[in-house]
Structure 1
Amino acid sequence: MKVELVTNLKRQATRILADLRLTREPVLITEHGQPSAYLVDVKDYEFMQRRLELLEGLSRGERAVLEGRTYSQNEAKKKMSKWLK
Structure 2
Amino acid sequence: MKVERVTNLKRRATQILGELRMSKEPVMITEHGRPSAYLVDIDDYEFMQRRLALLEGPSRGERALQEGRSLDHQAARKASGGAL
| Alignment TM class, shorter chain as reference | 0.7 to 0.9
Instruction: Please tell me whether residue 69 in structure 1 is matched to residue 70 in structure 2.
Output: yes
> For structure 1, which runs of at least 5 residues remain unmatched after alignment?
80-85
The Cα shift of 1:68 comes to 5.4
The 5 A counterparts of 1:34-49 are 34-49=34-49
TM (normalized to structure 1)? 0.76
For residues 48-67 of structure 1, the aligned pairs below 5 Å read 48-66=48-66, 67=68
Other-structure match for 1:26: 26
Residue 40 of structure 1: how far off its partner (Å): 0.5
Q: Provide Cα deviations, 1:7-53, integer angstroms capped at 9, x if missing partner.
A: 11011111100010011100000111111100001111111111111
Greater shift, 35-44 or 61-70, is seen at: 61-70
- Percentage identity across aligned positions? 65
| Number of aligned positions between the proteins | 79
The unaligned stretches of length 5 or more in structure 2 are none
Counting only pairs closer than 5 Å after superposition, residues 3-18 of structure 1 correspond to structure 2 as 3-18=3-18
Q: Which residue of 2 aligns with 1:78?
A: 83
TM-score between the two structures when normalised by the length of structure 2: 0.77
- Distance in 1, Cα, partners of 2:23 & 2:64: 41
Conserved 8 A contact 1:64-1:70: no
- Decide whether aligned partners of structure 1 residues 57 and 11 sit closer, same or farther in structure 2, where only a CA change above 3 A counts: same
